[in-house]
């Protein structure tokens, strides 16, 4: 007579139970819970109904936030960059510029924010020195003093620190942020465009 080990007995029992489940076409977890496998289509239908209702509620919520201006209408997946709309740890641009003398190098801080639904892996931030009220002037006609590339995740705010020099007695400072591929931005300085911001001064 052949002696059976404990391991062989456990494996044999497991195989027996498994084959029984396959023959009855019942899910193992429901077999343990004593719930018939025929109820699975009912659960599936209820799950799809819940998910459809949830999608409609979320879309209604998004539309309401868009109408209130809390959420930009952004196609997926794209970043939606803006700069200079929030105060940095050093204050707004005007406060920082007034602390610098003529022809003096200093560091200027400003905040970049991504209101989109995708990260900007190559967000370019730039800072310029230009003439008084530089609206509609191409950036290439302004003096670029510093540039830095940062990564900004969706709904992240990031403070950027760039070097800048005041070389005009009457002029302006301009900042800019853009993603070359996903959120390019204009090539000229615009007063109300979300990609740029700035301030002018009229006193030495």
Is 1 part of a structural domain of the chain? no
Is 113 part of a structural domain of the chain? yes
Over pLDDT 70: what percentage of the chain? 77
Is 76 part of a structural domain of the chain? no
> Are 111 and 187 members of one domain?
yes
- pLDDT score, position 28: 53
Q: Which residues contact 45 (CB under 8 A, 6 or more apart)?
A: none
> Are 50 and 121 members of one domain?
no
Is 92 part of a structural domain of the chain? yes
Q: 139, 154, 124, 151: which is closest to 198 by C-alpha?
A: 139
> Are 138 and 196 members of one domain?
yes
pTM of the model: 0.65
> Are 173 and 99 members of one domain?
yes
Give the C-alpha separation, 164 to 143, whole Å.
10
Q: 166, 125, 168: which is closest to 146 by C-alpha?
A: 125
- The tens digit of pLDDT for each residue in 73-103 reads 677 789 999 999 999 999 999 899 888 888 8
> Are 21 and 109 members of one domain?
no
Residue finishing a domain among 33, 67, 101: 67
Residue finishing a domain among 67, 94, 119: 67
Give the domain extent around 11: 6-67
- pLDDT score, position 18: 58
- The tens digit of pLDDT for each residue in 148-168 reads 999 999 999 999 999 999 888
Domain CATH number, residue 146? 2.60.40.10
Q: In the predicted model, what is the mean pLDDT of residues 135-155?
A: 94
> Are 97 and 63 members of one domain?
no
Is 75 part of a structural domain of the chain? no
Domains held by the chain: number: 2
Q: C-alpha distances in angstroms, 195 versus 81, 101, 113, 121, 126?
A: 6, 27, 10, 16, 11
């Amino acid at each position: 007579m052949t002696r059976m080990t404990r391991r062989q007995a456990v494996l044999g029992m497991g195989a027996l139970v498994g084959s029984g489940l396959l023959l009855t076409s019942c899910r193992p977890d429901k077999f343990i819970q004593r719930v018939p496998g025929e109820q699975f289509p009912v659960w599936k239908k209820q799950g799809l109904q819940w998910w459809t209702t949830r999608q409609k509620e979320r879309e209604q919520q998004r539309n309401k936030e868009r109408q209130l201006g809390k959420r930009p209408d952004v196609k997926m997946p794209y970043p939606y960059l803006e700069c200079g709309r929030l105060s940095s740890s050093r204050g707004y641009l005007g406060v920082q510029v007034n602390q610098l003398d003529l022809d003096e190098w200093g560091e200027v801080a400003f905040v970049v924010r991504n209101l989109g639904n995708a990260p900007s892996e190559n967000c370019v931030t730039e800072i310029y020195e230009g003439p008084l009220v530089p609206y509609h002037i191409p950036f290439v006609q302004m003096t670029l003093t510093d540039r830095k590339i940062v990564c900004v995740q969706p709904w992240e705010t990031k403070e950027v620190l760039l070097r800048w020099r005041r070389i005009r007695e009457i002029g302006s400072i301009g900042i800019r942020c853009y993603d070359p591929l996903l959120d390019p931005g204009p090539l000229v300085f615009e007063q109300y465009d979300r990609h740029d911001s700035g301030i002018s001064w009229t006193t030495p």
